[in-house]
Structure formats: structure tokens, C-alpha cells
Amino acid sequence: MAELHTEEMVLNMGPQHPSTHGVLRIELVVDGEVVVDAIPHIGYLHRCFEKHAEALNYQQVVPYCDRMDYVASMNNDHAYVLAVEKLLNIRVPERVEYIRVIMAELQRIVSHLVAIGTYGLDIGTFTPFLYCFRDRETVLDLFERTCGARLLYNYMWPGGLSHDIPGDFVERTKIFIEQFPKTIKEINELLSYNEIFVKRTANVGVLSADTAINYAASGPVLRGSGVKWDLRKNDPYSIYSQFDFDVVVGKGEVGTLGDCWDRYMVRVREMEQSLRIIGQAIDRIPEGDVQAAIPKRIRPPVGEALVRTEAPRGELGYYIVSDGSQNPFRVKGRAPSFVHISMLPEISRGYLIADMIAIIGSIDIVLGDSDR
Amino acid sequence: MNAAARYFTNLGKGFWTVLIGMRVTMRHLFTPAVTIQYPDEKMAISDRGRYRLYVNMDDCIGCNQCGMACPVDCIAIETAKSLPTENLGVTSTGQKKRLWVTKFDIDFGKCCYCGLCVPPCPTECIYMTKVFEFSEYDRKNLIYSFITLNPDEVEEKVSQAKEAEREAAAKKAAAAAAQAAQKPASTAVAAERTPKTQQPAESEPKAAGSQPEISPSTGENPNEASLKKDPSQEEKPS
Amino acid sequence: MHNFITYYLGTGFLGSFVSSVIPIVFVLSYALVAMYLELKISAHMQDRLGPMRTGKWHGWAQPLADVLKLLQKEDTIPTAADKLLYILAPLLVFVGSYAAYAAIPFSPAYIGADINVGIFYVIAVSAIVVIGILMGAWASDNKWSLLGGMRTAAQLVSYEIPSSLAVVAVIMVAGSLNLNDVCAAQTGWFWNWFVFGKFPFLFVTFVIYFIASLAETNRTPFDIPEAESELVAGYHTEYSGMRFAFFYLAEYANMFTVAAVASVLFFGGWNSPFGTFMSGAVWGAFWLIGKGMVLVLVQMWLRWTLPRFRVDQLMYLSWKVLTPFALADLVAVGLWTVLR
């Protein structure tokens, strides 16, 4: 019997597609239904952040940093101001450190809620998405009461914070801490352990630990493959060393270690750990002035500083070079999503087209982060 | 045998998790909705809400600190030096105003609502309000002009400032020439000294190339009413 | 008297015409109600409100507004499309869905056509939908539509097997293909219903039939063809306006057909659950429509709870789970019936 000659077809999952995580174009080379190669094309959201930073002073770069990973804005600010403070060699009051950590962890919860909700949407359920966003509202409300904005905060300034927390912040956060575990339980019942969801995501997009390390993966993507690496524990910054929490690692419970379900589940469990950190921090906020250490004019000495932090998407780093003037000479943002997109061809070979969606959703990219 | 056992457990798990999921959604069917009917009801915005800016021109001294702090260059300010005979009044913080503010435009299409313009203001006249419903059909209408002078007055102030400057420069030149006539040694330097003291009559408008042709008639901003209305209890950020 | 219309108006043209138009009236009004329920129930399950403005009272006129909107849309036909097939496809799909209403006994006094092969006819005629879908997919001259359409066809054809096997099990117990007789065999209180009979086998049969028929109607979790949001919108991508409305209407009509057949086969049809209390011609219609609506609500409930299957998992479910179980179940029910 003569062999059937099958041709490979090139499909375009174009910059606009319904299960969008931003504007990303993936060129899929498929043989029937099986993906032979997936070539991502990025740059649709490039806004010249690093070029802009060269023309602005250090304080003015902060709103631009917000807009890099717009889903996890506090974490971006945190990394940047830590880098500037390292350049300036100033120490911020402890109150500032505590509030920064609380805000960063709240932001982590919010960002993971978005990731989980939209992942449900990709797989086909509409309901968990709305439950996640309902809980997100409580936290966004907290943020609005503190700094006035709901998504892009411009809250952490080099040397301190833009506003002190309002009087009822501690109470409201405690109420949130109390009611949030119920939502996590609901999400687990409705989505995480649902057999259909499990079947869609287990054994799909398997990323082995070696590949992950070779590709410089970080965050939940790396931890989902079983590698226990969290910058908050392995390279502590700010005051993370004072808190007691676990590093969540994927264990291959329902499929191969390093599949989409593991990465997804790491995010769900990380939310619980973030809740623990917030619970510990919220009771111990010391008194102080959050604006005491903010310099009048930021003019760092000539030098460079590199700071890396654990953002919800992975390892976020800022490398700032100062030439002694008011504007930075160079600001480089090391975006986790950029690195993770480069892994896409590797982990999607051999799977079906429908699995591509599951894989993209599980590595949780935000195009603002990857394109800057 | 193992395969058969796995087959049946998968099936069982499938059914069981489906039923649990259905229980969750059924429970939610009877919980009250968390959404509200916008625009009939609106959510309360916190006092620190960073939405549309408002400038109280009575207190503005034209220092352009806000314009310089803005990361996106959306504030365009031009001032004209007042004559010594004019009395512009005093701001609420006690400073005597010396500059006529002839242009104060904020382009809300560019504004990123970061609030960096608020802390540098010495008189706390620019602050963020809670207004967020100000969409326009035409992008030009998002350029708000806050000055209180009408276009004729603007022209008048600008021209009189230029006049005053020219006279001052002429006087200086005459004085310098007289001095030069007396002391031939220090010659051209004095005469050539370009008036460095040129006041920001043409102060660098921060908004670069895309300065739109704002005919003075856009002084009639459609949102004039809301501009005039100073939403009370503004919490000026610390 | 199985059909009061033909009883009074005779079996000539007038009687037949009126008799066949009544289900259309029912289907159209039911579709509006079902659309509204879908919007509202999904909203409340998701902790939100749903339509509230159209029609002033909780947005009751939203489906009406949607239909009117669809009616006035521009009728576009892609230039490279096969015109005849393109126009025929939605009509065929709707006709296939609607023709099944002829054999559904709405009440002891009304059944469109009291034929001896009732349920067989229903299953056969529902298969016309597959042709319509393939036509629509092909005629759109769109790669994705074609792929989506072929997947749908595969899905529909595969799930007909367990669905028919389940029906056969019930028929064996009832002893007749005529749906009126099937109803009549379940008179009395609700424990006489077939779903509780030959326990647990007929209950398993009901579950198999329900899942298989859910796949027939393209509802989540089997909605790969429609919510092909992964790539495109499936076989009805190129349709807009009234043509799309036909597809949509056909989906809702199908939902009710399937629910009504399930009520007749398993839940007593037009019988009242309380024996002779609240039974009769008019009550019968109420009970059938009520039971059908309950099953429709369950279908909607499932839609808003479950994620969707991948195509190969869908096929796995049909061929490797439902069909073997249906066969085993058929054998069990048959043995029970014979050995009494």
C-alpha cells in the first residue's frame, strides 16, 4: 500500500485570538492535528519602556514600570525601587518594608486569580473566571483605598511609599484573609479537581526539570516541574526572610511531573502561601513614617545595580546603570514572560492544536511583560 | 487488570467531580449577586481615588513643577510676567502671585493618572478628583484648559509682558552703551549679553511636537461646568 | 382521540396544517423563554444579574430584542461560497430539529402523528441535522468551518450509537415503539416511571441517554464545534443575521426534543406523578412540558459548570465508555425483562 503523503500545514494563531493572553502570534506548523512546531512572534505590545526610561528621572520611571506587567503592577514597582535604593545605598524604614511585602503578596494573589480564571476560560468553563474576579474586587478595593488606583498603582517610590495605609486597612485585610480560603476551596471543587479539566491538562505540555533550568524558567513554571527554587527563600530580598511559608512545588499528582496541571496547581497553592505571609505581616507592621527616606532629588552616584525578585510570573529583575545624572543611563527589565515564551516550541511538539491553548495558558504570560 | 481498575476509577472520579462542581454552581444560584446596576447605582470611590485632575487657578503660581514632574508630558504651561503695577493677588498659602498663567492645558488623553504632579505643587492647587466619567467623542475635547483669562486678556498679558521685556532690554542696552562709552575697556560683552533674564513668557511648553491647534475657543470646554465645580472634600495626598 | 385537532378539523389539509403549526408556535415561544432562562440562570450562577434593562422588568424582552436584531442584519454570503448549499444548510438543520416534534406526545389528546414507529422516526429524522451541518461547513468555503463541521459530524454520528442503544433498552421494557404507548405504560404514581424500574439498570440507561443526547445537541461539555474559541467559531462562522438565527433556534429546539424524549421514555411523559390527581388532556401537556423544561434546565446547569472536552476525549467517551456500557446495560435489561 502506497504511503499517504501528508503535507504540513501552517496555521496562524494570530495576534487576535479569543483565548488571548495579550497580543501574541504563534505560527503553528501542524501535521493533521498534531503540532510539529510552534514559532512565537512577539513585539506587538512593545512600548519602548527601556528607551523611555533614559529620558525620565528615577521617580518618573515608576509609572512606566507599572505598565510592564500590568496584572502584577506592585511587584514590578517593588523590583525597580529595590534596585534604585541599592544604587542610592539607602535603607528604608521597616514600616515601608512590611507594607511593601503585604502589597506584593496581595498582588500575587490577585495576579494568580487572573491566571486561574482565564485558564478556566481557555479550557471552556466560564464560571470560575467570574468567581476569581469577584474576589479580586475586594483586593482592588483595598488598593484603591490606599493609593487611589485599581490596576496601575505608582505606589512604591524609591525610598518609601506614595501613601501610608489608611486606618481601616488592617481590619479589611484581615476580613479578606478570613474569607478567601473559601474561594480557593470553591475553585478546587469546580475547576482544579474536575475530571474533565484534569484530563485536558494532565500529561500536556510536559516540561522536564532539566529543560526548565536550561531555558532559565522561573516562578510557577519552574516549580511546576519539581524544582524547589523560590527567590524569596533562595535569595531573600526585602524582609522575606522573616516570614514562615512553604515553597510550593509540583509533584506530578495527576500526570507527569511538569505538565500543565502541575503549573496550574502551583499557582493555586501559592495563593494559600501568600495568604500566610500576609497574615503574619499584617499583625506586625511597625510604626514609622513611610516618606521619611524618600530623597528630595534622586541623583545616584555612578554605578550599576541589579535586583531580582519573585514576581507572580517568575523572576523579574531590573538592572540599572547610573551615570551620575538625574536620569538613569540604562534601565533593563528582565521579564519572565519573555523567557517563558521562548520555551513554547520545546514543550508543545507532539501535542494537538487544542492542547496549545492549555499550554499557553499554563505558562501564564502577559505580553506587557514580555514585550515591555 | 490494572487497566480495567484505572478505567473504572477514572469513570467514577469523572462522575463524582462533575456532581461536586454542579453542587457549587447550584449553591451560587441562590446567593445574591455581587454586581450593581451601573449607571443607576455607582460604587463608592475612595477619597484617595486618583482620577481626573483639577487645578484651582486661584492658587496657581505658574511654577511648572507639575509639568516637570509629569512622566508623559501632558501638562502644558505658559506664563507671562506681570507688570510691577499689577496686583494678581495672593494664594491661599500666602504666596504673592507674580506670573499671569496664559496657558494651562492638561491633555487627559495622555495623562496616565499616576499622581506625580500632585506632591511637587507648592500651593497644592493641582489634585486628583474622583471624577472618572468624562469620555469624549472627539479626542481634542480631552484637552482641558484651566486658565481663567479669556483669549483677549491672554493676548494682552502676553504682549504687555513682551513690551515690558523689550523696554527692559532696551534700557539695559542703553545703560550698557553709556557705560561702554565711559569705559571703552569692557566693551562688547555688556552689549552682547543677551537678555538672560528672559522670563518664561515663552516658557518651554512641556507638551512637545503634538501641540494641537487650540484655538482660544476651546477655552469653552464642554466640561466647563464640572471644571468650575470643585468636588469638595478632596483629600490632598500627603 | 390522539390528536384533537384532526378529530375536530378532520385529517384533510386544514387539520394537518393546523396540527403541524402548533408545535412551531410552541417551539418559538419556548425558544424565547429558554434563551431568557439561559441568560438569567448563567448570570445568577456567576453571582451577577444578567439582562435587567430591556423590557424594564428584569430584562424579560432581551431575547426578543436579540431576535429583532438578528432579523435586521445584513444578509452576507461569501462570494466564493456555494450559494445553494449555503442557503439550504440552516434550513435543513432547522427542519431536522423540528420534524422530530411530529412524534412527541405533548398530551394524551395531542400528538402530531400517532405512528407506530414513533421513537424510530424521531431518531432517524434528527440525523438530517448532520447533513445540514456538513453542508454549512462545506458551503462556507472556509478552512476552519470545514474542520469544525467535520468534527461536529463525527461527534453527532458517534453519539447516536449509545443514544439509540439506550432507547432500545426502554423500548424492550415498554414493548412498543409508539411513544404514546410508552407513556401509557408508566401510568400511576411516579414510582411507576421507567427511570425507577428494573433498578438500577434503567437509571443507568437514563444517564447514558442523557449524556449521549447532550452531545447530540452540541452543548458543553461537548461544544467543540461551537465554542471552537480555540481557533474559530466552527461551522456557523460565516453565517450572520437570520441564517444564524436558524442555527441558534435549531439548537434550542433540539434541546427540548431531547429533553422531551427523555421525559417520555423515562419520566412518564404526560402522566402526572400523583396518579390520577392533576391528570388529563390539559394537565398532560403541562406535565410533559414541565418535565422537559426541568431537563433543559439541567442541561443549562451543566453548561455553566463543566469545561469542554477535547475532540479525542470526546470520541473516547462515546466509543469506549458509553457504547460498552449501553451494550452491557441492554443485555441486563433484556435478561431482566425476559426472566421477569
Instruction: Supply φ then ψ for residue A29, to 5 degrees.
Output: -105, 115
Residue A1 domain-assigned (yes or no)? no
- From A286, C332, C239, select the one nearest C324 (Cα to Cα): C332
pLDDT digits (tens, 9 = 90+) for C99-155: 999 888 888 888 888 888 989 999 999 888 888 888 888 887 777 777 778 888 888
Hey, which residues does B77 pair with through a beta bridge?
Answer: B104
Q: Which of the residue ranges B101-110, C117-126, C182-191, C208-217 would you say has the lowest mean pLDDT?
A: C182-191
Please give, rounded to a whole number of angstroms, the shortest distance from the CA of A295 to a CA of chain B: 13
Residue A123 to residue C312, Cβ atoms within 8 A: no
- What is the spatial distance between Cα B163 and Cα B83, in angstroms, rounded to a whole number? 10
Contacts of B46 in chain A (CB under 8 A): 141, 144-145, 148
Q: Is A320 helix (H, G, I), strand (E, B) or coil?
A: strand
Strands (E), A152-245: 156-157, 160-161
State the total domains in chain A: 1
Residue B200 has pLDDT above 70, yes or no: no
pLDDT of residue B224: 42
Strands (E), chain A: 9-13, 25-31, 34-41, 156-157, 160-161, 303-311, 314-322, 330-334
Contacts of A356 in chain C (CB under 8 A): 230
pLDDT tier at B196 (50, 70, 90 boundaries)?
A: very low
Q: How many helices (H) and strands (E) does chain C have?
A: 13, 2
Host domain of residue A49: 9-371
pLDDT digits (tens, 9 = 90+) for C7-64: 777 778 888 888 888 889 999 999 999 999 999 998 998 888 888 888 888 888 999 9
pLDDT tier at B233 (50, 70, 90 boundaries)?
A: very low
- From B48, B225, B43, B238, select the one nearest B129 (Cα to Cα): B48
Between residues C229 and C331, the one the model is more confident about: C331
Complete edge-to-edge strand list for the sheet that includes strand B75-81: B75-81, B99-107, B143-145
pLDDT tier at B150 (50, 70, 90 boundaries)?
A: confident
Backbone CA torsion sign across A68, A72, A77, A82: negative
- CA-based radius of gyration for chain B: 30
pLDDT tier at C230 (50, 70, 90 boundaries)?
A: low
pLDDT tier at C231 (50, 70, 90 boundaries)?
A: low
Please give, rounded to a whole number of angstroms, the shortest distance from the CA of C311 to a CA of chain A: 8
pLDDT of residue B113: 92
Task: Point out the residue among C41, C49, C306 whose CB comes nearest to the CB of B29.
Answer: C41
pLDDT digits (tens, 9 = 90+) for B26-35: 888 888 888 8
Question: CB under 8 Å to A239, separation ≥6 — which residues?
Answer: A94, A97, A98, A101
Contacts of B13 in chain C (CB under 8 A): none
Interface of B with C in 23-52 (CB under 8 A): 24-26, 28-35, 37
- From A294, A361, A306, A372, select the one nearest A336 (Cα to Cα): A372
CATH class of B53-153+198-228: alpha beta
- What is the spatial distance between Cα C187 and Cα C197, in angstroms, rounded to a whole number? 13
pLDDT of residue A2: 53
Instruction: Read off the C-alpha cell for A240.
Output: 522575606
- CA-based radius of gyration for chain C: 20
What was the ipTM of the complex prediction? Answer: 0.84
pLDDT of residue B43: 87
Beta strand B99-107 pairing with A9-13: unpaired
pLDDT digits (tens, 9 = 90+) for B9-20: 888 988 899 999
Residue A61 domain-assigned (yes or no)? yes
Residue A293 domain-assigned (yes or no)? yes
**Most A CBs within 10 Å: which of C47, C306, C309, as the mutation test of the A interface?**
C306
Q: What is the residue whose three cell numbers read 439509540?
A: C164
pLDDT of residue B205: 38
Residue B238 has pLDDT above 80, yes or no: no
Torsion of CA C58, C60, C65, C67, to 10 degrees: 140
Taking the Cβ of residue B171 and every Cβ of chain A, the question of whether any pair is shorter than 8 Å is answered with no
Residue A249 domain-assigned (yes or no)? yes
**Most A CBs within 10 Å: which of B46, B75, B117, as the mutation test of the A interface?**
B46
Torsion of CA A170, A175, A177, A180, to 10 degrees: -150
The answer to whether the CB of A112 falls within 8 A of the CB of A265 is: no
Contacts of A164 in chain B (CB under 8 A): 238
Taking the Cβ of residue B12 and every Cβ of chain A, the question of whether any pair is shorter than 8 Å is answered with no
Please give, rounded to a whole number of angstroms, the shortest distance from the CA of B18 to a CA of chain C: 7
The answer to whether the CB of A232 falls within 8 A of the CB of A219 is: no
Contacts of C52 in chain B (CB under 8 A): 37
Q: What is the DSSP string of C294-327?
A: HHHHHHHHHHTT--PPPHHHHHHIIIIIIHHHHH
Q: Which of the residue ranges B24-28, B228-232, C36-40, C255-259 would you say has the lowest mean pLDDT?
A: B228-232
Between residues B75 and B85, the one the model is more confident about: B75
Cα–Cα separations (whole angstroms), residue C178 to C2, C116, C170, C264, C282: 12, 5, 12, 11, 21
The answer to whether the CB of A309 falls within 8 A of the CB of A319 is: no
Q: Which chains touch A (3 or more CB pairs under 8 A)?
A: B, C
Three-state SS string over chain B comes to CHHHHHHHHHHHHHHHHHHHHHHHHHHHHCCCCCCCCCCCCCCCCCCCCCCCEEECHHHCCCCCHHHHHCCCCCEEEEEEECCCCCCCCECCCCCECCEEEEEEEEECCCCCCCCCCCCCCCCCCEEECCCCCCCCCCHHHHEEECCCCCHHHHHHHHHHHHHHHHHHHHHHHHHHHHHHHHCCCCCHHHHHCCCCCCCHHHCCCCCCCCCCCCCHHHHCCCCHHHHHCCCCCCCCCC
Please give, rounded to a whole number of angstroms, the shortest distance from the CA of B111 to a CA of chain A: 11
Size of interface B-C (CB pairs under 8 A): 38
Taking the Cβ of residue A18 and every Cβ of chain C, the question of whether any pair is shorter than 8 Å is answered with yes
The answer to whether the CB of C271 falls within 8 A of the CB of C186 is: yes
Count CB neighbours of A251 within 10 A: 12
CA C82 from chain centre, in angstroms, equals: 29
Task: Point out the residue among A145, A152, A186 whose CB comes nearest to the CB of B24.
Answer: A186
Contacts of B22 in chain C (CB under 8 A): 301-302, 305
Instruction: Read off the C-alpha cell for A159.
Output: 525610598
pLDDT of residue C20: 83
Task: Point out the residue among C45, C52, C306 whose CB comes nearest to the CB of B18.
Answer: C306
Residue B48 to residue A186, Cβ atoms within 8 A: no
- What is the spatial distance between Cα C144 and Cα A12, in angstroms, rounded to a whole number? 12
Residue A2 domain-assigned (yes or no)? no
Please give, rounded to a whole number of angstroms, the shortest distance from the CA of B213 to a CA of chain A: 26
Taking the Cβ of residue B116 and every Cβ of chain A, the question of whether any pair is shorter than 8 Å is answered with yes
Instruction: Read off the C-alpha cell for C62.
Output: 432581551
Taking the Cβ of residue A199 and every Cβ of chain C, the question of whether any pair is shorter than 8 Å is answered with yes
Three-state SS string over C251-279 comes to HHHHHHHHHHHHHHHHCCCCCCCECCCCC
Q: Which of the residue ranges A113-122, C62-71, C278-287 would you say has the lowest mean pLDDT?
A: C278-287
C-alpha triplet B16, B17, B21: angle, nearest 5°: 120
pLDDT of residue C229: 52
Burial A260-292 (b: 16+ CB within 10 A, else e): bbbbbbbbbbbbebbbebbbebbeebeebebbe
Task: Point out the residue among A125, A191, A200 whose CB comes nearest to the CB of C310.
Answer: A200
Where does residue B228 rank: exposed (0-12), middle (13-18), buried (19+ CB within 10 A)? exposed
Residue A196 to residue C305, Cβ atoms within 8 A: no
The H or E element containing residue C105 is: strand C105-107
Residue A52 domain-assigned (yes or no)? yes
Taking the Cβ of residue A49 and every Cβ of chain C, the question of whether any pair is shorter than 8 Å is answered with no
CA B199 from chain centre, in angstroms, equals: 22
- What is the spatial distance between Cα C192 and Cα C189, in angstroms, rounded to a whole number? 6
Residue C47 to residue B18, Cβ atoms within 8 A: no
Count CB neighbours of A136 within 10 A: 18
Closest residue on chain C to A356 (Cα): C230
The answer to whether the CB of A334 falls within 8 A of the CB of A133 is: no
Q: Which chains touch C (3 or more CB pairs under 8 A)?
A: A, B
Between residues B168 and B218, the one the model is more confident about: B168
Residue C230 to residue A355, Cβ atoms within 8 A: no
The answer to whether the CB of A180 falls within 8 A of the CB of A135 is: yes
Question: What amino acid occupies position A117?
Answer: G
C-alpha triplet C224, C226, C228: angle, nearest 5°: 60
Which residues in chain A show pLDDT less than 50? 1
pLDDT of residue A274: 93
**Most B CBs within 10 Å: which of A162, A203, A331, as the mutation test of the B interface?**
A162
CATH number at residue A24: 1.10.645.10
Task: Tell whether pTM > 0.95.
Answer: no
